[in-house]
Amino acid sequence: MQPPVLDFWFEFASTYSYPAAMRIGAAAQARGVAVRWRPFLLGPLFKANGWTTSPFNIYPAKGRYMWRDLERICGALDLPFAEPPGFPQNTLLAARVALVALVQEWGEDFCRAVYRAEFGDGRNIGDPAVLVEVLRQLGQDADAVIGQSQSDEVKARLRAQTEEAAARGIFGAPSFITDDGELFWGNDRLESALEWAKR
Amino acid sequence: MQPPVLDFWFEFASTYSYPAAMRIGAAAQARGVAVRWRPFLLGPLFKANGWTTSPFNIYPAKGRYMWRDLERICGALDLPFAEPPGFPQNTLLAARVALVALVQEWGEDFCRAVYRAEFGDGRNIGDPAVLVEVLRQLGQDADAVIGQSQSDEVKARLRAQTEEAAARGIFGAPSFITDDGELFWGNDRLESALEWAKR
């Protein structure tokens, strides 16, 4: 029998996607649920709301709270935490590279390493040099991978994935969708989503 | 030794404040934390963001998700759930009555009964007759209590409480603030807030 599958929709700029990405592997394995990692871009969805930046920037009280909350969450999980230089980061290249990476063995490691660089080490993941470094540390041919990520096919796939996210009711990240279409939003809903998936 | 105190900031129109109000008594007692119930109005805070209604109405995908999420949460807690007729409800009178009630023995029962009427039974708590019914079921002299709630003192106290909420960094409900000023937002942060309070 195939294990139930949970779609993990994430955006590299999303702060709460960081602890979710770090937790989901072990949490899913413990429940016998398979995870499909699905990068997408929040920018187009936010633009449809009339937002040109993150709501955490538009609404300062909410933003201040989020950074403090994220710091507490990372502390409780023993995850390193540092605010990246500028928020939200430009994640277009990282998301395209993730689409190339996720059809290979090291794809999830790449995603975790990007989050770790951004919110653990406070690096600028919009800088291609940072992604090159991440890829090399994973033993990959960075130039080849980044070259592939620039293909029309990958660009179209990221657009399609982002459109699918919107069509499935997603409005933020991280989001989780079960086989039967149940949507859960937020790092704090990971366990509920996994429990639903295995029902 | 006095027990640690957690301030529970709630707004009667707030959907996620419903499960929080129903859970907080037992959850706090189990941890030896005292709870101070603090009603306030979200309207003035939302207005400062340029919103004339709930963001759940302004952003439909988020609103659809919230109602489904709330239904799941109530299901898991065995709480009755029904969408009220119109959202958000006008909660000015309910909040004023709560200020009168909360200096008396039956104050928390009143707050829970209002939430239960609104989100458990789908009643319109903006209708004074519904509040009269709730007060009578608690054995109170409804006319006298509602009369008191209309005093200038109570009106000023609700305004002051709402201003204090904003000044303390609150931007949504439910929110929890510990003795040392740590802010937690959302029904799903209740346990974290209680654990922080008793450190």
- Residues of chain A with Cβ-Cβ distance to B72 below 8 Å are 192
Q: Using CA atoms of A70, B191, B176, B88 in order, give the dihedral in degrees to the nearest 10.
A: 90
| Inter-chain touch B170–A64, beta carbons under 8 Å | no
Distance between B122 CA and the closest CA of chain A, angstroms: 24
Contact by Cβ (8 Å): B177, B33: no
Distance between B48 CA and the closest CA of chain A, angstroms: 10
Residue of chain B whose Cα is closest to the Cα of A62: B171
| C-alpha to C-alpha distance for B7 and B161, rounded to whole angstroms | 12
Task: Give the closest residue to B135 by CA, choosing from B102, B163, B97.
Answer: B97
| Inter-chain touch A185–B68, beta carbons under 8 Å | no
pLDDT of residue B33: 98
| Inter-chain touch A169–B62, beta carbons under 8 Å | no
- Residues of chain B with Cβ-Cβ distance to A49 below 8 Å are 59
Neighbours of B105 (CB within 10 A): 8
Contact by Cβ (8 Å): A135, A125: no
**CA A165 centroid distance within chain:** 13
| Inter-chain touch B169–A72, beta carbons under 8 Å | no
**CA B108 centroid distance within chain:** 10
- Residues of chain A with Cβ-Cβ distance to B189 below 8 Å are 69, 188
* Cβ neighbours of residue A114 closer than 8 Å, sequence gap 6 or more: A12, A94, A98, A125, A131, A134
pLDDT of residue A106: 98
| Inter-chain touch B62–A171, beta carbons under 8 Å | yes
User: Which two tokens mark A151?
Assistant: 């293909």
pLDDT of residue A1: 77
Neighbours of A122 (CB within 10 A): 13
Q: Which of A47, A73, A164, A188 to mutate to test the interface with B (most CBs of B within 10 A)?
A: A188
Distance between A169 CA and the closest CA of chain B, angstroms: 6
Residue of chain A whose Cα is closest to the Cα of B175: A65
Q: What is the DSSP letter of B119?
A: I
- Residues of chain A with Cβ-Cβ distance to B172 below 8 Å are 62
Residue of chain A whose Cα is closest to the Cα of B68: A183
pLDDT tens for chain A, residues 1 to 199? 789 999 999 999 999 999 999 999 999 999 999 999 999 999 999 999 899 999 999 999 999 999 999 999 999 999 999 999 999 999 999 999 999 999 999 999 999 999 999 999 999 999 999 999 999 999 999 999 999 999 999 999 999 999 999 999 999 999 999 999 999 999 999 999 999 999 8
Q: Which helix (H) or strand (E) covers residue B172, if one does? A: none
Q: Does the model's ipTM exceed the 0.90 cut?
A: yes
User: Which two tokens mark A174?
Assistant: 């991280």
- Residues of chain B with Cβ-Cβ distance to A183 below 8 Å are 65, 68
Q: SS3 of A8, please? A: strand
| C-alpha to C-alpha distance for A28 and A50, rounded to whole angstroms | 35
Question: Residue B20's pLDDT band (boundaries 50, 70, 90)?
Answer: very high
Please tell me the pTM assigned to this model.
0.96
Contact by Cβ (8 Å): A4, A179: yes
Among chain A, residues having any CB pair with chain B shorter than 8 Å are 49, 59, 61-62, 64-65, 68-69, 72, 166, 169-172, 183-186, 188-189, 192
Task: List C-alpha distances in Å: B112 to A96, B24, B27, B107, B184.
Answer: 49, 11, 15, 9, 21
Contact by Cβ (8 Å): B27, B194: yes
Give the mean model confidence (pLDDT) for residues B56-60. Answer: 94
Q: How many residues does chain B have?
A: 199
pLDDT of residue A92: 98
| C-alpha to C-alpha distance for B164 and B41, rounded to whole angstroms | 11
pLDDT of residue B1: 77
